[in-house]
Amino acid sequence: MYNSYREYSEPLLKAAAKLQDHLYIIGRRKATGKKVLDNPKYTAYLLGRFFCYVEVFKQLSPSMAFGKPRRDRIFSNILGRIQVILAMDNSELVQLYGGDNCSSNIENPFKIPSQEQASLGQLMLRERWLEYNFRGGSPHKTSSYAHSGVHFPEFTELLEENSEFSRWFGPLVEALNPDHVIGASDSQNLRLGLFQTALVDLVDFLDPAPMCTIIPAYRRRRLYTPPRMVHTKLPQTLAYVPERKCKRHCHALTKNGRLLLSASCVQKYILRGSRPERWYAAAISWSSEYSGRFRVWSNWSGFHISYKSE
C-alpha cells in the first residue's frame, strides 16, 4: 500500500510544487512591476500536468485512502479548495476572499471551470495517446506508463498538430499571455495568489515539514500568508448549517465574545449546492437574536468561520 501511495502521490506532489513555484515567480514579478518573459505554453503545460495527476488520483481514490479518515478529509479539502478557487465566479471570489476594497471586475486567465479542469487533465494522460506517433518516438512503456502525463515536447507537438488537443488548450495558452497575467491590477490577481497558496498547502500535506524529503522548505514560498481573513457580512453565496448542529461541535465563547467553529464542524455539516464553488461555503443559520459580523478564512486544515457580535 505504501509503495502504491508513493507511486501516485509523488508525481502529484512534484507537479504541484513545480506549478506553485512557477506561479510564485509570476506573482512576485508582477508585484514588483518587472517584466516577465514567460512562455504561456509552458504555464499551460504545468497547469495541465497538475490536473492530469489530480485525475489519476481520482481514478484510484477507492484504493488510495491515507489510512485515517481525518487525513482523507484534509486531502479532499485541499483538492476541493483548489478546484473551487479556479472555478468560482469572479464576483463570488471577491466577495468571499477579497474584502471591501477589492474590485469585482476580474479578467483573470486562471478562472477555469471544474469540468474544464477535468477535461484538461484527461487530455494530458499518456494512455490517451498510446497510438499517437510522436516525432521523437514514445518512451519505454513502464508499469506506470498509463498513469503518467505527456512531457513538454509532446505537449507542444499535440498543441500544434492535434485539433482536439488545441481546441482545449489553445484558449488557455492565449489567456496566459504574460500581458494578460502581469498587466492586471492587484485585485485581478487575487485568484492567482489564492491558487498558488493552496498549492503550497497541498505540498505541505504530501511532504510535511520539517521532515520534508522531496520538496525542500525554501521552495514553499507563498504569495499570501494564510490564514487569508476577510471581515464581511454573511455572503449570500454561503450555504447554511443548522444552528443546533453547530452548537454541539463549536468551541466555547472566547473572552472577546467571538464564537469559533471547529474545522470538523464546517467540514461535516457543509451543504452542497448545485454549483462547485459552493461546496466549501458554510456558515451558521443564527436565530434573530444574533447580529454581528462573520470572519471567514481557509488554510491547510480547512474552511473556518468565526462570529463576533456587534
pLDDT at 130: 82
Round to whole Å and give the CA distance between 196 and 127: 28
Last residue of a domain, one of 163, 198, 219: 219
Q: How far apart are CA 78 and CA 197, in angstroms?
A: 11
Tell me: the pLDDT tens digits for 8-51? 788 999 999 999 999 998 888 776 666 665 788 999 999 999 99
**208 and 283 both lie in a single domain:** no
Q: What is the pLDDT of residue 5?
A: 63
Query: Are 175 and 54 found together in one domain?
Result: yes
Q: How much is the pLDDT for 176?
A: 85
Q: Which three cell numbers stand for residue 86?
A: 479556479
Q: Does 224 fall in a domain? A: no
Q: Flag whether 24 is in a domain.
A: yes
Provide the 10 A C-beta neighbour count for residue 197.
Answer: 26
84 with 279: CB under 8 angstroms?
Answer: yes
**In this model, does residue 212 exceed pLDDT 80?**
yes
215 and 262 housed in the same domain: no
Of 27-41, 96-110, 130-144, 233-247, least confident by mean pLDDT is 233-247
Which one is predicted more confidently, 37 or 224?
224
Does any domain span residue 245? yes
CA angle 216, 217, 222 (to 5 degrees): 125
Tell me the residue ranges of DSSP E strands in 165-288. 230-232, 240-242, 258-260, 283-285
Q: What's the pLDDT tens digit per position in 196-207?
A: 988 998 998 888
Which residue among 195, 219, 243 closes a domain? 219
pLDDT, greater one: 210 or 184: 210
Q: Is residue 225 part of a domain?
A: no
Q: What are phi and psi of 58, to 5 degrees?
A: -65, -40
Lowest mean pLDDT among 57-71, 179-193, 240-254: 240-254
Place of cell 524529503: 213
| Averaged confidence pLDDT in the chain | 68
Pair (21, 143) in one structural domain:
yes
Shared-domain flag, residues 156 and 303: no
Q: Do 64 and 211 fall within a single domain?
A: yes
- Total domain count, the chain: 2
Percent of the chain at pLDDT exceeding 70: 52
Please state the rounded mean pLDDT for residues 50-79.
76
Nearest of 228, 239, 289, 301 to residue 259 by alpha carbon: 289
Q: Where are the alpha helices (DSSP H) in 60-104?
A: 69-87, 90-93
Q: At 129, phi and psi to the nearest 5?
A: -120, 30
- Residue where one domain finishes, among candidates 199, 219, 239: 219
Mean pLDDT of 127-146: 69
- Domain containing 146: what range? 2-219
The listed range with the strongest mean pLDDT (83-97, 206-220, 224-238, 294-308) is: 206-220
Provide the phi-psi class of 69: left if phi over 0, else alpha when psi is between -120 and 50, else beta: alpha
Check whether residue 206 and residue 238 sit in a common domain: no
User: Within a 10 A sphere around the Cβ of 71, how many other Cβ atoms?
Assistant: 12
Domain identity same for 201 and 290 = no
Burial of 238 (0-12, 13-18, 19+ CB in 10 A): buried
Judgement on whether residues 200 and 243 belong to the same structural domain of the protein: no
Measured CA angle at 187 (ends 182, 190), to 5 deg: 80
In a domain, 129, yes or no: yes
**Which has the closest alpha carbon to 43: 199, 174, 236, 215?**
174
Residue 258 CB neighbour total at 10 angstroms:
14
Considering the domain architecture, whether residues 215 and 268 belong to the same structural domain is answered as: no
The pTM of this model reads 0.68
